[in-house]
């Protein structure tokens, strides 16, 4: 049957008047194909593909792009190209299954690479089960709150990412024009980034030290400007937008251009190495070394405090959500199944949700016991930490996504690691086993929160468009399974190819997690004063209305990863404000979003391709083999000529993005 509407009703985004009802694009009485062989198969394919791409990008720059929008665009383009009729609900399922990629990746790469960074080891099964079990818990803990967030609070939350994805899916009759723009940008971004990361045609991270004046500034006052010239990072900055890009970069500028020179100015007079394992005095350190050994710890403290602030501000929601969950489980509240329940309000029955929650908790406990700690008591303590924190923070993650489209999972995970480390030490689990257990516990919690936050977006899309939520909930498990397996394979390959915590794959978030738990688990002195400074800084930022998590993240991430994000944010601002006609600005902003998404997808995917080429090349030819070396470009990319060319190429790719976004159809 044909849906009765081809566009969203006018009350889709506003609060409803008393007695007014929202009727989705596909009304409850209309049934369209949803979970078909086509939609499920394509969704699983995208889950695997975008998991690999997002894992590489996240390990590279510490940011994971949300796959929902690119997948929605591709789903629309493919259904149009194949001439599929009545494919709206199918495309929702494709998007919902495929979007598991980004959230599972975020949970895994923000924590688990820390195991390797600390010199420990993790098997594929440990990485896979950590991601899988965390993802399942995130889905199951969120289901009782679906109706509250997507129906009862209709019009209360903006749901920015869900809004954009829904508009794309509704515009499916456009003939695949959006998919064409995205694919074109993906080809450009993919080729560009492959020339950089694959064959070394020019240097990937450029610095002002390549110039004489820049070198003198770095030597005399430890001032340096650094820039990652990748197209994927530039695209990420466009989607982040100018406001958050500016806040992130402001934190980076304070760290690199205020604190690093200040530490050098004071520390240059200290004759001995001070609170560092490098054996160098501060006077002997380069700007990057000062940043890593001293300044970034302030950012870590700020990230932890920002997570705590988010929980404190949301305590009423957590308490209310707990009561709602009890009513759901006992069948006396929302979500109960009756004979006249509309198709668009059908969830998995609460008795099955509870059964699956208990089963997942049981498997998690067995995994902690037999696969991580080897101790029944320690496994039970770890399980208690996972269940309590994952449940309490589920609503925080969902609300954050609903309001700003950004999941503060990194701050909450960092706090989880601190709590779990302290609890495990008190329980008698220390040293290498303790660090392994703490990071895997953090991985499960991080994945659960990331999945819950992302899944509320999928369910809101389904609510607006009229997809059966029970269908989305059932098949989300399949997408999570595919993503967890893909992430496990990609992480092992990337670690064996480059190693985590290296210039090729800095894994900044996981490095922060490892830096926090190591002193807690080994009894080493920790930079508590630096953490405390970050905590106070986060409190001050909250008082003056600046998002502390974004600012603290900027202080922690290396400068070269934040400057291209600001460049992308500036391009987004100019594209959206250049014309006096708001309709023209809106079209340009949308086109720019497609181009940026293409840059992200193409660049990240080609980064994974380059990693696999180098991995298999090393296996065949020896440990020193690289594609750039085989082509004779390894020395060129590191030369001053290759670095200057990197500056030029970044300007060109930024100009391409800007000019392409300004085209009116």
Q: 3-state SS string over 556-589?
A: HCCHHHHHHHHHHHHHHHHHHHCCCCHHHHHHHH
Structure tokens at 353: 């949700």
- In the chain, where are the structural domains located? 37-185+335-406+433-509, 194-303+529-661
| Highest mean pLDDT of the ranges 325-334, 400-409, 427-436, 469-478 | 469-478
Handedness of CA 118, 120, 122, 126 (dihedral sign): negative
Residues 374, 375, 381: CA angle, nearest 5 degrees: 120
DSSP assignment string, 7-71: S--TTSSSPPPTT-----SS-TT-----S-HHHHHHHHHHHHHHHHHHHHHHHHHS-----HHHH
Residues 571, 574, 579: CA angle, nearest 5 degrees: 145
Which pLDDT does position 4 carry in this prediction? Answer: 40
End-to-end CA distance of the chain: 32
Residue in the structure block whose two tokens are 């899944």: 455
Structure tokens at 201: 């045609």
Which pLDDT does position 510 carry in this prediction? Answer: 77
Q: In angstroms, rounded to a whole number, what is the distance separating the alpha carbons of residues 22 and 13?
A: 10
Which pLDDT does position 365 carry in this prediction? Answer: 93
- Across the range 623-631, mean pLDDT stands at 71
Which pLDDT does position 42 carry in this prediction? Answer: 93
Give the CA-trace dihedral at 508, 512, 514, 520, to 10 degrees. Answer: 170
CA nearest neighbour of 373 among 439, 291, 318, 285: 439
Q: For the segment 328-384, what is each residue's pLDDT rounded down to a tens digit?
A: 556 555 444 545 578 888 888 877 888 899 999 999 999 989 888 888 898 898 899
Which pLDDT does position 415 carry in this prediction? Answer: 67
Which pLDDT does position 615 carry in this prediction? Answer: 65
Task: Look at residue 205 and give its three-state secondary structure.
Answer: strand
Q: How confident is the model at residue 275 (pLDDT cuts 50, 70, 90)?
A: low
SS3 helix, strand, coil % of the chain, rounded to 5? Answer: 75, 0, 25
Phi, psi of 586 (to 5 degrees): -65, -45
Which pLDDT does position 137 carry in this prediction? Answer: 93
Q: In angstroms, rounded to a whole number, what is the distance separating the alpha carbons of residues 39 and 98?
A: 10
Q: In angstroms, rounded to a whole number, what is the distance separating the alpha carbons of residues 415 and 390?
A: 12
Q: In angstroms, rounded to a whole number, what is the distance separating the alpha carbons of residues 505 and 197?
A: 11
Residue in the structure block whose two tokens are 């251009």: 257
Structure tokens at 389: 């924190």
Q: In angstroms, rounded to a whole number, what is the distance separating the alpha carbons of residues 498 and 517?
A: 23
Q: For residue 172, what is the DSSP state? A: G
Q: For the segment 71-92, what is each residue's pLDDT rounded down to a tens digit?
A: 887 888 788 778 787 788 899 9
Determine what percent of the chain is predicted with pLDDT higher than 90.
18
Q: How confident is the model at residue 533 (pLDDT cuts 50, 70, 90)?
A: very high
Q: In angstroms, rounded to a whole number, what is the distance separating the alpha carbons of residues 53 and 180?
A: 20
Prediction pTM value: 0.71
Q: Are 182 and 74 spatial neighbours (Cβ–Cβ below 8 Å)?
A: yes
Higher pLDDT, 592 or 571: 571
Q: In angstroms, rounded to a whole number, what is the distance separating the alpha carbons of residues 267 and 26?
A: 66
Which pLDDT does position 404 carry in this prediction? Answer: 47
Q: In angstroms, rounded to a whole number, what is the distance separating the alpha carbons of residues 358 and 189?
A: 45
Structure tokens at 89: 């609900």
Residue 516: Cβ within 10 Å count: 25
Q: For the segment 88-116, what is each residue's pLDDT rounded down to a tens digit?
A: 889 999 999 998 887 888 788 878 888 88
- Across the range 171-187, mean pLDDT stands at 69
Q: In angstroms, rounded to a whole number, what is the distance separating the alpha carbons of residues 262 and 265?
A: 5
Residue in the structure block whose two tokens are 């939609």: 39
Question: What are the contacts of 245-248 at 24+ separation with CB within 8 A?
Answer: 245/565, 245/566, 245/568, 245/569, 245/570, 246/566, 246/569, 247/546, 247/547, 247/550, 247/551, 247/554, 248/550, 248/551, 248/553, 248/554, 248/557, 248/562, 248/565, 248/566
Least confident of 113-127, 201-215, 396-410, 599-613: 396-410
Q: How confident is the prediction for the chain on average, in pLDDT?
A: 80
CA nearest neighbour of 169 among 458, 452, 400: 458
DSSP assignment string, 520-551: HHH-----HHHHHHHHHHHHHHHHTT--HHHH
What does each C-alpha distance from 263 to 250, 267, 268 come to in angstroms? 18, 6, 8
Which pLDDT does position 129 carry in this prediction? Answer: 92
Which pLDDT does position 651 carry in this prediction? Answer: 94
CA nearest neighbour of 129 among 353, 359, 367: 367
Which pLDDT does position 334 carry in this prediction? Answer: 47
Q: How far is CA 605 from the centre of its chain?
A: 16
Task: Look at residue 482 and give its three-state secondary structure.
Answer: helix
Q: How confident is the model at residue 478 (pLDDT cuts 50, 70, 90)?
A: very high
Q: In angstroms, rounded to a whole number, what is the distance separating the alpha carbons of residues 306 and 549?
A: 5
Q: In angstroms, rounded to a whole number, what is the distance separating the alpha carbons of residues 39 and 581?
A: 39
Structure tokens at 518: 């190591």
- Across the range 118-123, mean pLDDT stands at 81
Q: In angstroms, rounded to a whole number, what is the distance separating the alpha carbons of residues 443 and 433?
A: 15
Q: How confident is the model at residue 474 (pLDDT cuts 50, 70, 90)?
A: very high
Which pLDDT does position 50 carry in this prediction? Answer: 84
Q: How confident is the model at residue 2 (pLDDT cuts 50, 70, 90)?
A: very low
Q: For the segment 208-239, what is each residue's pLDDT rounded down to a tens digit?
A: 988 989 999 988 888 999 999 888 888 878 87
Which pLDDT does position 3 carry in this prediction? Answer: 44
pLDDT of 254 > 90? The answer is: yes
């Amino acid at each position: 049957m044909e849906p009765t509407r081809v566009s969203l009703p006018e009350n889709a985004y506003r609060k409803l008047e008393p007695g007014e009802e929202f009727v989705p694009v596909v009304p409850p009485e209309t049934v369209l194909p949803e979970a078909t062989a086509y939609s499920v198969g394509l969704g699983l394919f995208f889950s695997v593909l975008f998991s690999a791409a997002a894992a590489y990008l996240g390990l590279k720059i510490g940011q994971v792009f949300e796959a929902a929008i690119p997948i929605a665009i591709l789903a629309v383009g493919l259904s149009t190209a194949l001439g599929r009729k009545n494919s709206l609900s199918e495309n929702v399922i494709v998007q919902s299954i495929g979007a598991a990629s980004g959230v599972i990746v975020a949970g895994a790469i923000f924590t688990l690479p820390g195991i390797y960074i600390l010199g420990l080891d993790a098997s594929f099964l440990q990485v896979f089960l950590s991601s899988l079990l965390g993802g399942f818990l995130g889905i199951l803990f969120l289901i009782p709150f679906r109706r509250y967030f997507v129906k009862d609070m209709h019009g209360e939350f903006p749901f920015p990412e869900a809004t954009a994805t829904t508009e794309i899916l509704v515009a499916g009759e456009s003939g695949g024009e959006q998919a064409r723009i995205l694919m074109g940008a993906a080809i450009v971004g993919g080729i560009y980034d492959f020339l950089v990361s694959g064959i070394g045609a020019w240097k990937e991270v450029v610095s002002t030290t390549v110039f004489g004046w820049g070198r003198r500034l770095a030597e005399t006052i430890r001032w340096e400007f650094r820039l990652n010239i990748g197209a994927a990072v530039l695209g990420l900055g466009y989607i982040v937008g100018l406001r958050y890009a500016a806040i992130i970069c402001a934190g980076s500028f304070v760290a690199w251009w205020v604190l690093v020179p200040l530490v050098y100015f004071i520390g240059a007079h200290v004759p001995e190495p001070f609170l560092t394992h490098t054996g160098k005095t501060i006077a002997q350190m380069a700007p990057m070394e000062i940043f890593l050994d001293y300044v970034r710890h302030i950012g870590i403290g700020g990230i932890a405090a920002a997570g705590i602030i988010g929980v404190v501000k949301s305590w009423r929601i957590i308490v209310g959500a707990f009561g709602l969950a009890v009513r759901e489980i006992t069948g006396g509240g929302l979500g109960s199944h009756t004979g006249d329940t509309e198709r668009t309000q059908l969830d998995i029955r609460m008795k099955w949700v509870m059964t699956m929650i208990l089963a997942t908790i049981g498997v998690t406990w067995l995994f902690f016991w037999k696969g991580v700690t080897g101790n029944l008591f320690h496994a039970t303590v770890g399980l208690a930490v996972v269940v309590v924190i994952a449940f309490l923070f589920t609503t925080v993650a969902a609300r954050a996504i609903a309001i700003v489209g950004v999941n503060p999972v990194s701050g909450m995970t960092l706090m989880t690691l601190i709590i779990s480390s302290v609890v495990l030490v008190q329980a008698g689990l220390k040293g290498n086993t303790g660090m392994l257990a703490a990071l895997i516990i953090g991985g499960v919690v991080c994945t659960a929160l990331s999945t819950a936050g992302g899944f509320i977006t999928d369910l809101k899309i389904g609510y607006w468009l009229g997809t059966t939520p029970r269908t989305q909930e059932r098949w989300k498990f399949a997408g999570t399974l595919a993503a967890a397996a893909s992430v496990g394979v990609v992480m092992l390959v990337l670690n064996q190819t480059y190693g985590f915590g290296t210039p090729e794959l800095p894994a900044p978030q996981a490095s922060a997690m490892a830096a926090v738990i190591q002193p807690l688990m080994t009894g080493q002195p920790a930079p508590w004063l630096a953490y405390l400074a970050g905590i106070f800084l986060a409190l001050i930022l909250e008082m003056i209305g600046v998002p502390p998590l974004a600012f603290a993240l900027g202080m922690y991430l290396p400068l070269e990863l934040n400057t291209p994000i600001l460049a992308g944010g500036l391009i987004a601002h100019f594209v959206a404000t250049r014309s006096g006609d708001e309709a023209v600005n809106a079209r340009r902003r949308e086109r720019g979003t497609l181009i940026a998404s293409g840059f992200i997808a193409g660049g990240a995917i080609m980064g994974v391709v380059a990693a696999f080429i180098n991995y298999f090349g090393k296996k065949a030819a020896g440990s020193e083999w690289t594609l750039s070396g085989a082509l004779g470009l390894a020395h060129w990319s590191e030369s001053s000529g290759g670095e200057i060319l990197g500056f030029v190429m970044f300007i060109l790719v930024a100009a391409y993005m800007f000019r392409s976004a300004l085209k009116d159809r």
